[in-house]
Amino acid sequence: MLNHTKKQIEWGNVFMKHEAKRSTAHLSRYVPDLEPEQLQAQMELEQAIRLSMNESVYGPSPKVMEAIQEWTGAYAHRYPDTRLTKLRHALATYHNVHPDAFVFTNGLDEMIQTLPRTFVEAGDEVLVHTPTFPEYASQAQVDGARIVAVPNKNFGIDWEGMRAAITDRTKLIYLCNPNNPTASLEPLSSIQAFLDQVPDHILVVLDEAYFEFTGLPESQSGVAIFDQYPNLMIMRTFSKAYGLANIRCGYSILHEAAAEIVDATRTPFNVSGLTEIAALAGFQDQAYLAEVVEATRLEREKWLAFLDDMQLTHYPSYTNFVMFEVPDAAQLIANLREHGYMLTTHSFPNWIRLTLPNAQDGARLRDLMRQALS
pLDDT of residue 1: 46
Q: Among residues 136, 30, 34, 93, which one has the least CA distance to residue 341?
A: 34
Element (H, E) at 349: strand 348-355
Report d(CA 83, CA 368) in Å as an integer. Answer: 48
Nearest to 107 by CA among 244, 273, 255: 244
Rounded Cα–Cα distance for residues 197 and 165 (Å): 12
| Neighbouring C-beta atoms of residue 42, cutoff 10 Å | 10
Let me know if domain 64-284 sits in CATH 3.90.1280.10.
Answer: no
pLDDT at 14: 58
The structural domains of the chain, with segments of one domain joined by +, span 32-58+286-373, 64-284
Give the tens place of pLDDT for each residue, 253-303: 999 999 999 999 999 999 999 999 999 999 999 999 999 999 999 999 999
Spatial separation of the C-alpha atoms in residues 257 and 271, rounded to whole Å: 22
Q: What is the CATH topology of the domain spanning 32-58+286-373?
A: Aspartate Aminotransferase, domain 1 (3.90.1150)
Q: Which residues of the chain are under the pLDDT cut of 50? A: 1
pLDDT at 12: 60
The Cα–Cα gap between 115 and 127 comes to 13
